[in-house]
Amino acid sequence: MEIIPAIDLRGGRCVRLRQGDYQRETVFGDDPVAMARRWISEGGPRLHLVDLDGARDGIPANSECVGEIVQAAGVPCQLGGGIRTELAVRTLLDDVGLDRVIVGTQALKAPEWFREMATAFPGRICLGLDARDSMVATEGWRDVSQTSALELAAAYADLPLAAIIYTNIARDGMLEGIDPETLQDLQQLAQLGPPVIASGGVTTLEDVRQLVDLSVASPRLIGAIVGRALYEGTLDLEAAVELTSA
């Protein structure tokens, strides 16, 4: 299982939000490339990048910064936030050099388009499932739908997805740990077929240990994205990577 450091971008800076709330922002640095190099030097096997401006506005907004990170990183990078057109997908994968892109809003609102993209780019499209009380949220987490995360994931389980990335919004950026509801959702998602990556709530090494234990019983759980815990120092990346590599 991989531990994947997250770098959230807003206005070209490294920030973290609490529960996706743009009014509750903490700035952790003005040099995202330096931050990327730090996480890689500590053993991060890939980077999870989020374009917060793009997620809010519906169009990628930090592509230049993302490109600089990709060039400097030397490890695979994935990006989510505002990816809602074929042009955006092609540009980010072919020109910017990302390994994967993450699509959330359009997977719910434009299912035929999402199927076309996943088929055209096998193994390079991630389904982003951002959930409040297990229901899918879109438009930068501002709108909560009547579709459950499990229902949407099941609808696309036949596609050649790179992964399903599941985020419990209530836990994201709160340093409150992984909750039983999230573990149950991850277990159910891991039974569908595509690889699953957990996001939101990983706070301590004990949270990582819980996910590692779950991955033994559910081998389709292949990774966990970690953000604020790394920036606040409640989780040591090297120790987490060592635990998942044991």
Give the active site residue among 8, 51, 53, 207: 8
Q: Is the pLDDT of residue 21 over 90?
A: no
pLDDT tens string 204-222: 999 999 999 999 999 999 9
What's the confidence (pLDDT) of residue 97?
A: 98
Mean pLDDT of 41-60: 96
pLDDT tens string 69-124: 999 999 999 999 999 999 999 999 999 999 999 999 999 999 999 999 999 999 99
244, part of any domain: no
Q: Residue type for 208, please?
A: V
CATH number where 205 lies: 3.20.20.70
What's the confidence (pLDDT) of residue 20?
A: 82
Tokens encoding 48: 């999870």
Task: Please check whether residue 32 is in contact with residue 77, taking contact to mean a CB–CB distance below 8 angstroms.
Answer: no
φ and ψ at 186, to 5 degrees? -65, -40
What's the confidence (pLDDT) of residue 122?
A: 99
What's the confidence (pLDDT) of residue 19?
A: 84
Give the active site residue among 21, 30, 99, 130: 130
177, part of any domain: yes
Q: Is the pLDDT of residue 246 over 90?
A: no
Gap between the Cα atoms of 14 and 151, Å rounded: 33
Residue 143: CB atoms within 10 Å: 12
pLDDT tens string 168-191: 988 888 899 999 999 999 999 999
Q: Which of 183, 180, 192, 188 is nearest to 224 (CA)?
A: 183
Q: Which of 177, 237, 183, 193 is nearest to 215 (CA)?
A: 183
Q: How many domains does the structure of the chain reveal?
A: 1
What's the confidence (pLDDT) of residue 127?
A: 99
16, part of any domain: yes
Tokens encoding 228: 């604020």
What's the confidence (pLDDT) of residue 245?
A: 92
Task: Please check whether residue 169 is in contact with residue 130, taking contact to mean a CB–CB distance below 8 angstroms.
Answer: yes
31, part of any domain: yes
pLDDT tens string 141-174: 788 999 999 999 999 999 999 999 999 988 888 8
243, part of any domain: no
Gap between the Cα atoms of 24 and 43, Å rounded: 29
246, part of any domain: no
What's the confidence (pLDDT) of residue 240?
A: 99
Q: Is the pLDDT of residue 12 over 90?
A: yes
pLDDT band for position 236 (50/70/90)? very high
Q: Is 51 a catalytic residue?
A: no
Host domain of residue 176: 2-238
157, part of any domain: yes
Q: Is 8 a catalytic residue?
A: yes
Gap between the Cα atoms of 105 and 127, Å rounded: 10
The model's pTM: 0.95
245, part of any domain: no
Gap between the Cα atoms of 92 and 94, Å rounded: 6
